[in-house]
Every structure is written in C-alpha cells, then in structure tokens.
Amino acid sequence: MIRRTLREWQRIGYGDDEATIPQAEADRIAAVAARSAFAGRGGEGVLEHGRKALRARGVVGVIAAPGCQLEILPKIEGLGEHEATDDALRRRLIHMLAVVHDLRIDTGAMTQLGWQKDTVLELLIRLFCTRLLEAVRMGLPRRYLEHADDLSALRGRLDITRQFSRHAVSPQRLACSYDELSFDIPLNQIMRAAVSRLQRLAQAADNQRLLREIEFAYSDVTRVPVAALRWDQITLDRTNQRWSELLSFARLLLTDRHQQTSAGAIDGHALLFEMNALFEQYIAKLLTRALSGSGYRVSAQGGHRDCLFEENTGRFRTKPDLIIRQGDRTVLVIDTKWKRMAARIDDPKQGVSQADVYQLMAYSQLYQCQNVMLLYPHHSDLPPDPIRTCYAIANADAKENLVVATLDVTGSSRAHVQALEALVQVVLSKSEAA
C-alpha cells in the first residue's frame, strides 16, 4: 500500500521515492477525487491533476484507490508552530470534527490513537469502533414493532378486514396483528450499515478485528443500503439517548461527504471535508456556547436578504456565515475565512481580499448592522497576539465598523470559546460606547 500525506495547497511530484508518488497511482487517486461532491465543474476542486504533479486544494481528508492512499491535512499552524507535525494536524482536524458533530472524545481515547502511523480515516474508524463496541456490550436498543401474520391461534388482535377477505374459506387461519420487541430497528440498521461500509475501507489490522467483533453482534439486524436508511424514523429518548453521539458519528461516516465511487477500472473512496465550511461550522458551535445566557443568539447561514430588486423580485440573495442578534436587532455579522493572513510588514492590507471587504460592506447595509467582521485562523507567521484591527466604513467618522480578527486554532475548545466571547464583547462594547 502506497501512502502519501500532503498539506492543503501543497504539491507532490510523480516518481518512485518517498517524497513523490508513482504516476499510475496518482492517476487513480485523481480519478477518485474528480468524482467527489467537492470536485466542482472542472473536476479539480479537490486535486489539480497536472502533467508533473498533484496539487491539493482547500479540501482535507483521505482519498483511496486500489493500492494507494492520499491524505490531505489542514495547513495552518498555530502560535509557536513554525512547522507543525502531521500528527498535530490530525489531532486538530479530528478535534474540529468532534466539536462540529457533537462527538465527545475523551483525553484517554485521544492519547491511545496512532496519530503518527494512521490516516485521519483510520483514526475516525478506530474512535467509532471503540465507542460502538462499548455501547454494544451494554446491549442493543430494542423497540416494539407491529407485525401482521396469519397464525393458527390468536395473537394480539384480530384484523377483521384481512380475516374476512383472505381467510373467508379457511377460518382455521387467523389474521393477527401484534407488537413484538425487536432489535431490527432503524437505529441498529444504521449502525450495521456503518460497520459494513467501514469493513471495506479499514486497512489497520486492529480496526478490522474490532469491526468483525461488532458485525457479529448485528447478525440479526437487516442489511439496508445506505440510500434506503430511515434516519427520519429514529426517535431518541431516555431509553436510547446514549446512542446519540454514535448516531452523529455514523452520519459523518455514511452521508455524502464520504463517497464510495466505482467507475470502470477505478474503485475507491474519499472521506473529505471542505476546510472553509468546517471552520465556519466550528466557529458557529463555539460562538453559540460563548454567548449562551448573554441575551445574544447566533444563527448560521441565515439572513437571506436580497441585494437587488427587479420590480418585486429579489436578486442576488445573500447568506452571511454567522449573524449575532439581540432580540430582533442584528448586532454583528461574521464571515469566516480559512485563509492565511499576511503579516503587516509584507502587506498593509494583510492579504484581506477587496472582494471580501465589499461583501461585508454590503452586509452592513443590508442587515442595518454597525459591526461586521472577517475572522481568520491565526498562524505562526503573524505576531503572537491575536489580530483585532478595526476599520471605519466609508469615512473616518463612520459608526459602521469592519473588524479583521484572528483566532488561534491550537489548544482546547474551551480556550477558543473564551477567546470568541472576549472578541465579541470587545467589538460590541466599542459600538455601544460610540
């Protein structure tokens, strides 16, 4: 198995040594990536398939084809990390995924993972298997299901309509309707589907062993294709609440972000995450925690106000990443940007895009909001203190402000919550003082 690891926007040339990838394997990897939901119209939204090299873009995760795997990790390092290790970046990515998908991963489980020898996919499989095996050993959830059967003795209640239509001439058979406690319920079917899929993907021997053990426990549960799984029929209550995190985990591994592709001679799979979207979702989760009980509320991908109107028809609908409201009033609009800011000594604008500035100015106008913000991840090439630059919009005395800020993505989510709370309070207090 050929395995290579890249960072976002990094290239890997074709060749036969450890620093390159054989071109035949690169072609197979690129073919799988081109079928991803993130590939875009040109098919190169995940990987640029050049004549001399593959180049990663702003999507991270694992792409696998027969005989080879390519892992793509987030690029941005935190404070003090001038050259972050691959295992540190894997930890960071899994931590962000855990926060976004409401997965509680304890410190003990994190320390036992093979951060250096395994890909992000193998690590996620190991975490899922460990948690699922613990839950299975405590017993599978059951539920009463309604059955209809023709029996020689009455069980449950008699189905009068079916009795006199089907058994009018053979009254020795009774059309019975009854409830029976069963393991074959949608929740267990989803878990079995996840286990079945991961059995085809896992390469690590310990993951394969765990999956075989778990598969045995689900032997009496019906195999249901992923597309036919009934997520809508799952109701979590006090009897099965402990399965809520595993359900989130299974959704992460089974939904469209985890693509199984097969086309001609190319078979493969991809577990991919768009870092722009993941960073936005991560900030949304943490901001909700940070502002809990403060009177402010956070909404993600809301707003939907139109920029222009043609008679009574709105055009160019806007969708800000995050909106913070107090009552009915919008007090702050935030757009998250998973980009590397430039140091001020290199660029007075610090790499902030003019198009992004125009977009935030439009949000200020449309949502009648005095404060708008561009939020970037902090990284090692910036000064040690977080960036908090405030610009007056349109003129020096304007009440409307555009704040450019950064958040250090290293450390714990608790530290990130505190940093976001302090950032929002500083921005809003300045506005109120003005």
- Return the pLDDT at 181: 81
Domain ranges of the chain: 1-75+259-272, 83-142+190-255, 144-182, 291-433
Residue 264: band (very low, low, confident or very high) from pLDDT cuts 50, 70, 90:
very low
Residue 261 confidence (pLDDT) above 70: no
- Return the pLDDT at 239: 79
Q: Are 332 and 373 in contact (CB under 8 A)?
A: yes
User: pTM for the whole thing?
Assistant: 0.84
Q: How far is CA 244 from CA 102, 104, 138, 149, 155, in A?
A: 9, 11, 15, 33, 34
Mean pLDDT of 247-253: 89
Residue 337 confidence (pLDDT) above 90: yes
- Quick one: CATH architecture of 291-433? Alpha-Beta Complex (3.90)
- Return the pLDDT at 110: 60
* Bridge partner residues of 176 (DSSP): 149, 158
The winner for highest mean pLDDT among 40-54, 111-125, 281-295 is 281-295
- 381 against 107, higher pLDDT: 381
- Return the pLDDT at 91: 87
Q: Write down the mean pLDDT value for the chain.
A: 85
- Euclidean distance between the first and final Cα of the chain, in Å? 62
The winner for highest mean pLDDT among 77-81, 238-242, 254-258 is 238-242
Residue 223: band (very low, low, confident or very high) from pLDDT cuts 50, 70, 90:
very high
- As a whole number of angstroms, the distance between CA 161 and CA 41 comes to 55
Q: List CB contacts of 130: < 8 A, sequence separation 6 or more.
A: 109, 210
The 10s digit of each residue's pLDDT in 74-129 is 987 766 666 788 888 888 899 899 899 888 776 555 666 666 778 888 999 999 99
Residue 259: band (very low, low, confident or very high) from pLDDT cuts 50, 70, 90:
very low
Q: Are 282 and 334 in contact (CB under 8 A)?
A: no
Q: Are 359 and 321 in contact (CB under 8 A)?
A: no
Q: List CB contacts of 141: < 8 A, sequence separation 6 or more.
A: 183, 185, 187, 188, 239, 240, 243
Lowest mean pLDDT among 14-18, 88-92, 149-153, 334-338: 149-153
Please report, rounded to a whole number, the percentage of residues in the chain having pLDDT higher than 70: 92
- 33 against 145, higher pLDDT: 33
- As a whole number of angstroms, the distance between CA 10 and CA 144 comes to 54
- Return the pLDDT at 334: 93
Mean pLDDT of 185-197: 92
Lowest mean pLDDT among 265-274, 306-315, 367-376, 418-427: 265-274
Lowest mean pLDDT among 61-70, 147-156, 284-293, 417-426: 147-156
- Return the pLDDT at 260: 43
- As a whole number of angstroms, the distance between CA 387 and CA 374 comes to 11
